Amino acid sequence: MNDSFILRDRIWREQNERVTLSSNATFAAKSLGRIIDEEPDAFRTCFERDRDRIIHSKTFRRLKHKTQVFINPDGDHFITRMTHTLNVTQIGRSIAKTLGLNPDLTEAICLGHDVGHSPFGHTGEDVLNEILDGGWSHSENSVRMLSVIEPLNLTKETINGIEKHPWRYEEPPYSPEGLICRFADRIAYLSHDVEDAIRASVLKVEDIPKNITSVLGSPGKTWVNSLISGIFKASSSGDLQMDDEILSIMHELREFMFEKVYLREETLNQRSEAKKIVETLVMHFEKNPNKLPENYAQNQSDIANSVDYVAGMTDRFAISTYEKIN
């Protein structure tokens, strides 16, 4: 046994990808590169570097105080946008490792996929989409936050995977690792949102349709395992996809959650108050651009700069700022 450390530098790691990953994987040594060329790191691959930059960013740090589903919930165990992101990353890495795809690129995309979310989750996104000419989406804002507001100069593969992770894009991410994030995101939020709804006494386990629990099992870890297994079962041919039965159940579960949780009356009441806060803040900073932090004073319209700033706020900072100006 060799008792000394073995330094596995970037060259070794890139060569090791060639030995250990599938031919379908995205290889760091063949990355499309960054917008601004950089000297490569001595030890980390370009995708490891992306992952580390996102983790250490202020943009990522703010996720711990952003809503997933329930706004300002009572209790310590509700999912936040941060814990959702960590769940997505763990699921994504598990899929990548099992299928022989690049786990480092997968982690980078998953960690960055939601950093552009506005305060109050999709409620804030809906408001900003109405306010801004041309619309607004959290995935495109994630790219903006990591490329303009807090420029990290990420690789093109990471940027593309972050931008294209929502299912509403007909054109999928151009890497299989980006497609993993698309699946991992939905697997994560459907699983933990049900658990949160049960925790909040919005749902009971027996409310969940029997045809869903008969296939996925009890809510929680069993669901995650069942949904991930549906990908492994259907992806043996080399195309990343989900088993038809599991995919159908996942779509049915999503429709159930919209009906019983996401669009319930109490949720809509919370959304109304959150909408008022976001709208007021955007209008305030549009009229008072001198109050914006320097990095948000970009060469664009006052309303666009205001949207950038408000979109980056945490729930609690948005609430406290709203209270100060009213």
CA 208 to chain centre: 26
The answer on pLDDT for 306 being more than 90 is yes
CATH of the domain at 58: 1.10.3210.10
Q: What is the pTM of this model?
A: 0.93
End-to-end Cα, the chain, rounded Å: 69
Q: Is residue 130 part of a domain?
A: no
Q: Is residue 67 part of a domain?
A: yes
Residue range of the domain that includes 96? 46-118+138-236+244-263
Q: Is residue 270 part of a domain?
A: no
The answer on pLDDT for 319 being more than 80 is yes
pLDDT band of 199, cuts 50, 70, 90: confident
Q: Is residue 15 part of a domain?
A: no
Q: What is the pLDDT of residue 70?
A: 53
Total number of domains constituting the chain: 1
Q: Is residue 203 part of a domain?
A: yes
Q: Is residue 32 part of a domain?
A: no
Q: Is residue 290 part of a domain?
A: no
Angle (CA) 265 199 245, round 5°: 85
Q: Which residue has the higher pLDDT, 6 or 16?
A: 16
pLDDT in tens, 244-283: 999 999 899 889 888 888 777 666 667 788 889 999 999 9
The answer on pLDDT for 103 being more than 70 is yes
pLDDT band of 220, cuts 50, 70, 90: confident
pLDDT band of 3, cuts 50, 70, 90: low
Helix H segments across the chain?
10-20, 46-55, 58-61, 81-99, 103-112, 121-131, 138-144, 156-163, 176-199, 210-216, 221-234, 244-257, 265-287, 302-311, 315-325
Closest to 60 in 3D by CA, of 104, 107, 26, 97:
107
pLDDT in tens, 11-66: 999 999 999 999 999 999 999 999 999 999 999 999 999 999 999 999 999 998 88
Asked whether 318 and 119 are in contact (CB, 8 A), the reply is: yes
CB atoms within 10 A of CB 272: 10
Q: Is residue 103 part of a domain?
A: yes
Q: What is the pLDDT of residue 74?
A: 56
Q: What is the pLDDT of residue 205?
A: 87
Which are the contacts of 113, defined by CB distance < 8 A and separation ≥ 6?
85, 88, 139, 142, 161, 162, 165, 181, 185
pLDDT band of 121, cuts 50, 70, 90: confident
